[in-house]
Amino acid sequence: MLSGKNILLGVTGGIAAYKTTFLVRLFIKAGATVKVIMTESASSFVSPLTLATLSKNPVLHDFARHEENTTDWNNHVDLALWADIMVLAPATANTLSKMANGTCDNLLLATYLSAKCKVFFAPAMDLDMYRHPSTRSSFKRLQSFGNVMIPVASGELASGLHGEGRMAEPEEIVDFIVNYLSQGLPLSGIKILVTAGPTYEAIDPVRYIGNHASGQMGYELAKRASALGGEVVLISGPTSIVLEHAAFKIEKVVSAQQMYEAVHRYYIDMDIVICAAAVADYRPKSVASNKIKKKESAISIELVKTLDILMSLGEQKTKQYLVGFALETENELENAKGKLKKKNLDAIILNSLNDEGAGFGKATNKITFIDKNLKIKAFELKAKADVAKDIFDEILKKYHA
């Protein structure tokens, strides 16, 4: 939900400002770009240098840009337009009152009044200030403007009192924003399992049997499901793909057996399952404990079938909407339809290696979507991210039908 988002963090002068160091780190870890505006008093509680270092952007606190030989200024309108989300944390009673009444006496307030994005505020104050009618009035008025209040926590306060008024912990703030942004999305509250990549079946400690699958299609499906609000688990075979800010859980496996076990650990709780991994059909019957030396002109390796993950899921299916992939080289439609029926799938995605630009290791793919009623929809060659969108468009039509 936060990956790729521009977050403008407003920090005001409360003791909870020290927690914003952790908050900035969490936003960055989630894949967001963060800029910080501080009020003058906030710098008494947390160092602007610390927040600038963590956010990798200069911390702003005044309209004038205090740089040598410059007459430039910090444009509050540009800042407001840049932001996808604005978060005020901690939000003191003083700043909240100014926001509620349109007071504009610093850069943060001017930026807030110019903001067109969703604004979240996390109050932080002592118990009696929190309970005061004027503060309650600020809360109510700000929410009537469309701003979103992040609930306070109850506990020990800076004054020594115990009760409501503590700013929510950084992890709670991030979770609250993510959950809020997920509401109303097509897959909000839906649990999705995606498999991706190849499996490697060991011959000896050095060698293995594998295939050319890159994992990109499965990763794009997981990213699309997450962007639609889904709770996603991605089970990935060995790939070179690195996601710096994954918005979903990734479990790495190597062999078909490991993927089988991982999938079945999650399967019972899932709503939608997409098996995009290119799982090996066979594995060596025995694995040499030491590297096989090159002595003979030829060697024989006895292969045995691996467990059929998709078949086992179809047999155990209850509520799950189960989607498989079929990579074919001949009799494509007939083979895909047969797999759809045999494995008790709700839909199957057909790839043909005869289509230029489709198949393993390509940035593009060309698919045909076949549902359990044998309704067929073919798509043109597209980038795999766009293919993932097409697949979920079709799944959503069927899943919510």
* Cβ pair 277, 216 in contact under 8 A: no
Token readout for 218 is 């499965």
211 is catalytic: yes
d(CA 342, CA 338): 6
Rounded to 5 degrees, what angle do the CA atoms 245, 246, 247 make?
Answer: 110
In DSSP terms, which residues pair with 348 in a beta bridge? 324, 370
Contact residues for 203 (Cβ-Cβ < 8 A; gap 6+): 209, 284, 287, 288, 292, 301
In DSSP terms, which residues pair with 231 in a beta bridge? 191
d(CA 85, CA 35): 11
Going by DSSP bridges, is the β-strand pair 368-371/376-378 parallel, antiparallel, or unpaired? antiparallel
> Which one from 211, 331, 335, 365 is the annotated catalytic residue?
211
Q: How far, in Å, are 8, 102, 154, 305, 345 from residue 97 at the CA level?
A: 20, 9, 22, 69, 57
* Cβ pair 365, 381 in contact under 8 A: yes
**Amino acid (one-letter) located at 348:** I
d(CA 267, CA 110): 50
Active site residues: 211
